[in-house]
Structures are given as structure tokens and as C-alpha cells.
Amino acid sequence: MKPLRVLAVDDSRTMLDMLRAGLERAGFEVIEAEDGVQGLAKLAGNSVDCIITDVNMPNMDGLEFTRRVRADAQKGQLPILILTTETSREKRDIGRAAGATGWITKPVDADQLAQVVKRVCG
């Protein structure tokens, strides 16, 4: 069986490295993007099973990225997990309205995150 493929979108190199290490250790394949614009480009050229995105990024934030993925006829049903330092109920509500499947607050343990991804995307 081929591994699940996750698109990780975050402007922090440290966070992308942590995501890659934790998810690959759990058996996932990881594609990286540094903002929503790059995320949409990577999504167009790859088939993925799940998306993890930060909220606060340059060029296109994670909420707009989520809205655009949801508007895409082919990719609109993909699970989208928002991984962010944002904790306010208002932001969570905006994320839910944008189409987020789940909301995870940083910092997060890589193994814990892998379990959530398996549950949501598997």
C-alpha cells in the first residue's frame, strides 16, 4: 500500500522540518510549500491525501489558502488541518467557515500530530 501523501504549508523552515521528520517517521510522504501561493501550485501538480497549513504566512495566508482549496472541484474535499499559534475562538470560527477540517494549536508534538493526521486523513 502506498503511503499517504501530506501537503505541509508553513513559512517556517523549522516547522516544515519538524513536520517532515514526524510525518515521515510515521510512514507519510510529505510535500512542502512555504505559503498559500506555493501550496496551490504544489497541489495543482501533485495528488495528496491531506493538507496541513499554518495561518499566518506571507503572500497568501492559510485561511485564504483553505478557501481556495475548498473552491476547487477536484481538491475541494481534501481534509485540511490548520496548525497555528492562533488560539482565539474568533480565528477558529473563521477557520471553520473557510472550510478547515480541524484546528491544532502549536506547539505540537510530532508524534501526536502524526496520530491526528492518521485519524483525519487515513
The whole-model pTM stands at: 0.94
On average, the pLDDT of the chain sits at 93
First-to-last alpha carbon distance for the chain, in angstroms, is 12
pLDDT over threshold 80, residue 1:
no
Query: Are residues 74 and 65 in contact, defined by beta-carbon separation less than 8 angstroms?
Result: no
Mean pLDDT of 7-19: 95
Q: How many CA atoms lie within 13 A of 77 on its CB side?
A: 2
Query: Are residues 6 and 79 in contact, defined by beta-carbon separation less than 8 angstroms?
Result: no
Mean pLDDT of 23-28: 94
pLDDT over threshold 80, residue 9:
yes
Task: Give whole-number Cα distances, 77 to 28, 56, 96, 115, in Å.
Answer: 19, 23, 14, 20
pLDDT value of position 110 = 82
